[in-house]
Amino acid sequence: MLDLLQAAADGVLFGATYSLIGIGFTLVFGVMQKLNLAYAAASIGGAYAGLLILHVLRGAPASAVFFCAFLAGGVLGYVVYVTCFHVLPLSHPLASLMATVGMLLLIDEVIVHTTAGMPQNYPALFEDVMLPLGSLTVRGDLLLVFGVSVLGMIALLLLLYRSRLGLATRAVAQQPVAAQLCGIRVARVNAMTFVITGLLGGLAGAMIGASVGTLSPLISTPLTTKGLIVTVIGGLGSIPGAILAGLLVGGLENVFQLYRGVTERDLYVMLLLFAFLVVRPGGLFAPSGGRR
């Protein structure tokens, strides 16, 4: 029983990294009804870019790396928007989808060519801390990732519901034509959505790098898959759903691994997704109807 609880606890905390990626997927989908498959790769790209500060300022603190990753994520988000959404006709859904697939591969390949594929040591915000929780132990850094996910969610919800930009974003999400007729610059709102999710993505990438301890281009494809699963299970367009689904997928994944082994683990995660698609296709927090 203790093993089960420990595995679930480890997984739930690591699932916070999936939540961070899921939030990015879901926000873009909520606003534009488009999937940005390059999101996880751009997040990892942002995290890599954060390491550049160590080349400029040797011995720079981890917080500087995180801040650079945060900014680079925003820049990459904007680049993804311009190249995959702005210049492509949005009326052709496959065009932007395939463009983001191309961007995913491009970002991955740029990382590989820059680093020769070598894993890069990633700094942590603080030294390894294992916190006792009864008979269980939990990782302090993953608690921080979890905290950042929750803070990210709160910040995004405040932005969406307590700011003019949020009002414009929701207007564009619900009725882009009407929003445009009201004087809202739709392209600008969409671009801001990508920049904001990009900023969050850069931070998420840095958090993931710090929690794994090492960055490798190997991470981006599995993260994309997990991010998509989390987005679908959480409910496309639902930010709280993405967080909850990330923790759920992370926890169950580890439990599956404990009982069925690493080679069957992903099979059960896919079955979980399939079960949701059959029983609750709208996900945990399915939008009540229409665009949100």
Partner 1 sequence: MKTLASAFAALLTMSAFLVTSGTLAQDKTIKIAGFGAKSGVVRSFGINSEAAMLAAAEVINQRGGITLADGSKARIAVDYYDDRCTAEEGISVIRRIAGTDAVVAVGPTCSNVAEPLFGILQKKVGDAGDSGLQFPIFTDVAIKGGLAKISEWAFRNVPSEMTMYASLFEWLKTKHPDAQSVYGGVEEDFAHSRATWYSVMKTRAEASGYKVLGESKWLLNDTNFATQAREMKRANADVVALSAHPFTTCGVLKEMQRQGVKPKVLVGLTSSSSLETLQGCATQAESMIIPTSYAPINEQAKFAATQTAKFKGTADLHSMAAWENMFILKQVMEAEKISGDKSQLTVDRRKIRDGLAKLKATDGLIGITKREEREAEKPYVFVVATKGEWKVLYDPSKM
Q: Write down the least CB distance from residue 119 to partner 1, Å.
A: 4
Which range, of 85-93, 173-181, 193-201, 257-265, touches partner 1 by CB under 8 A? 257-265
DSSP 8-state assignment for residue 285: T
* Sign of the four-CA dihedral 254, 206, 128, 213: positive
Tell me how far apart the alpha carbons of residues 92 and 139 are, in angstroms, rounded to a whole number: 45
Distances in Å between the alpha carbon of 168 and those of 75, 99, 180, 182, 198? 21, 26, 10, 10, 19
Tokens of 167: 């009002």
Tell me how far apart the alpha carbons of residues 188 and 179 are, in angstroms, rounded to a whole number: 12
Q: Which of residues 30-69 bind partner 1 (CB under 8 A)?
A: none
Contact in structure between 67 and 49 (CB atoms under 8 Å): no
Distances in Å between the alpha carbon of 85 and those of 14, 110, 247, 254? 31, 20, 30, 36
Q: Which of residues 186-225 bind partner 1 (CB under 8 A)?
A: 208, 211-214, 216-219, 221-222
Which range, of 178-186, 241-249, 251-259, 274-282, touches partner 1 by CB under 8 A? 251-259
Give the residue with the Cβ less far from partner 1, 79 or 138: 138
Give the residue with the Cβ less far from partner 1, 128 or 164: 128
Give the residue with the Cβ less far from partner 1, 137 or 174: 137
Q: Write down the least CB distance from residue 227 to partner 1, Å.
A: 13
Residue 178 burial (CB count, 10 A): 11
If one asks whether residue 10 binds partner 1 (CB under 8 A), the answer comes out as yes
- x/- binding map, residues 115-144, to partner 1, per CB under 8 A? -xxxxxx------x-x------x-x-----
Give the residue with the Cβ less far from partner 1, 15 or 241: 15
Contact in structure between 80 and 198 (CB atoms under 8 Å): yes
Give the residue with the Cβ less far from partner 1, 169 or 220: 220
Q: Which of residues 261-280 bind partner 1 (CB under 8 A)?
A: 261-263
Contact in structure between 220 and 41 (CB atoms under 8 Å): yes
Could you list the residues that contact partner 1 (CB under 8 A)? 6-7, 10-11, 14, 17, 109, 112-113, 116-121, 128, 130, 137, 139, 208, 211-214, 216-219, 221-222, 250, 254, 257-258, 261-263
